[in-house]
């Protein structure tokens, strides 16, 4: 699947609807994928969440109206889909550093957030270790959290890992790692509808769940498995970006709308030689 072309089409839809209700469902339809996946891939490739991008573009356009027109602030707020002048003023100040009222007299301090455009950049000579494997169902047990969208998950998953690493469940799970996959999984489970998903810190195990530990069965799939070498989280972020920008763009495979995960192997996550595996479920494009 050509993610670059699909996301550029989505950007056009967003730009044409900044004064309307931008529908994540519509963006997903344009990109021929789930609402969860379009949010995730957008943030991976752009470095900003889809929700933040839409907010920033609206606040950038609002600054033009503040600077160049005599529109009332409440009318500008409604124009860019804010429910009240207070909500708009708070968001405006967070982005521009000054209130809309002050922006009228200090317009040189207002920021500009340009429209994005994605381009394919061919990079040669950088090896990416990967393999294709077909696996049956994989049973996992672990701790789970639910997030309403990718933006909420990105903010809270690092906190979840800190909480988990200090918990008795972390120690308990280390002793139950009897499955094929040796290590902790960071498993993303998209909801069947909408933009929400569950995130599990889990292990491949036959042991019983209970207490804080829940059981889940990862569906059978064909997997494209990549190695990310280096300290966390930079190595995983870099390789994941390359996967969607280069490998899956123009590939014979596309992302299957099933759970995907990172497999964190044993070792020092601060070491430049540390290996993380990134498991992407795929189907023929």
pTM of the predicted structure, to 2 decimals: 0.78
C-alpha distances out from residue 112 to 60, 256, 258, Å: 5, 37, 38
pLDDT at 88 over 60: yes
pLDDT at 113 (0 to 100): 94
Instruction: Inform me whether the pLDDT recorded for 121 exceeds 60.
Output: no
Q: What is the pLDDT averaged over residues 15-27? A: 95
Gap between the Cα atoms of 49 and 18, Å rounded: 16
Among 17-21, 106-110, 120-124, the range scoring the smallest mean pLDDT is 120-124
How far apart (Å, rounded) are the C-alpha atoms in residues 79 and 256?
38
Provide the β-strand partners of residue 215. 141
Q: What is the pLDDT of residues 166-206, one digit of tens each?
A: 999 999 999 899 999 999 999 999 998 878 999 999 999 99
Domain borders along the chain are 3-109, 130-284
pLDDT top residue among 285 and 256? 256
pLDDT score for 120 = 61
How far is residue 65's CA from residue 104's CA, in Å, rounded to a whole number? 10
Check residues 271 and 216 and name the one with the higher pLDDT: 216
> Is residue 69 scored above 80 in pLDDT?
yes
Which of these, 264, 265, 263, lies nearest to 279 by C-alpha position?
263
CB atoms within 10 A of CB 59: 23
| Residue 180 burial (10 A CB sphere; 0-12, 13-18, 19+) | exposed
Average pLDDT over residues 63-85: 94
Residue 86: pLDDT over 80:
yes
Could you tell me if 113 and 80 are in contact, meaning their C-beta atoms sit under 8 angstroms apart?
Answer: no
Mean pLDDT, all residues of the chain = 90
Give me the architecture of the 130-284 domain, per CATH.
Alpha-Beta Barrel (3.20)
pLDDT in tens, 244-270: 877 777 677 888 889 999 999 988 888
Task: Tell how many helices (H) and how many strands (E) occur in the chain.
Answer: 10, 9
Does the structure show a pLDDT above 80 at 72? yes
Average pLDDT value for residue range 52-65: 96
| CATH class (in words) of the domain with range 3-109 | mainly alpha
pLDDT above 70 (res 127): no
* Predicted local distance difference test score (pLDDT) of residue 194: 79
Q: How confident is the model at residue 45 (pLDDT cuts 50, 70, 90)?
A: confident
Q: pLDDT tens-digit profile of 225-236?
A: 999 989 998 889
Separation of first and last alpha carbons in the chain: 6
């Amino acid at each position: 699947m050509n993610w670059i072309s699909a996301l550029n089409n989505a950007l056009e839809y967003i730009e044409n609807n900044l004064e309307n209700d931008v529908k994540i469902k519509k963006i997903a339809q344009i990109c021929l994928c789930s609402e969860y996946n379009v949010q995730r891939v957008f943030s991976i490739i752009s470095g900003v969440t889809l929700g933040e991008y839409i907010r920033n573009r609206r606040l950038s356009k609002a600054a033009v109206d503040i600077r160049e027109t005599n529109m009332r602030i409440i009318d500008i707020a409604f124009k860019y889909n804010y429910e009240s002048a207070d909500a708009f003023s708070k968001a405006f100040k967070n982005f521009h550093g000054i209130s809309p009222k002050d922006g009228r007299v200090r317009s040189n301090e207002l920021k500009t957030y340009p429209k994005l455009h994605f381009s394919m950049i061919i990079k040669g000579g950088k090896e990416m270790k990967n393999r294709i494997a077909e696996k049956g169902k994989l049973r996992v047990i672990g701790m789970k959290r639910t997030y309403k969208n990718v933006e909420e998950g990105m903010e809270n998953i690092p906190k979840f890992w800190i909480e988990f690493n200090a918990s008795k469940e972390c120690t308990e799970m280390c002793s139950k790692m009897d499955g094929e996959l040796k290590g902790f999984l960071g498993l993303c489970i998209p909801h069947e509808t909408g933009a929400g998903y569950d995130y599990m810190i889990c292990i491949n195990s036959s042991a019983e769940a209970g207490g804080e530990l829940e059981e889940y069965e990862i569906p059978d799939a064909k997997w494209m498995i990549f190695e990310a070498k280096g300290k966390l989280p930079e190595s995983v972020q870099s390789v994941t970006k390359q996967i969607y920008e280069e490998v899956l763009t123009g590939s014979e495979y596309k992302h299957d709308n099933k759970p995907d995960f990172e497999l964190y192997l044993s070792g020092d996550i601060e070491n430049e030689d540390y290996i993380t595996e990134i498991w992407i479920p795929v189907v023929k494009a």
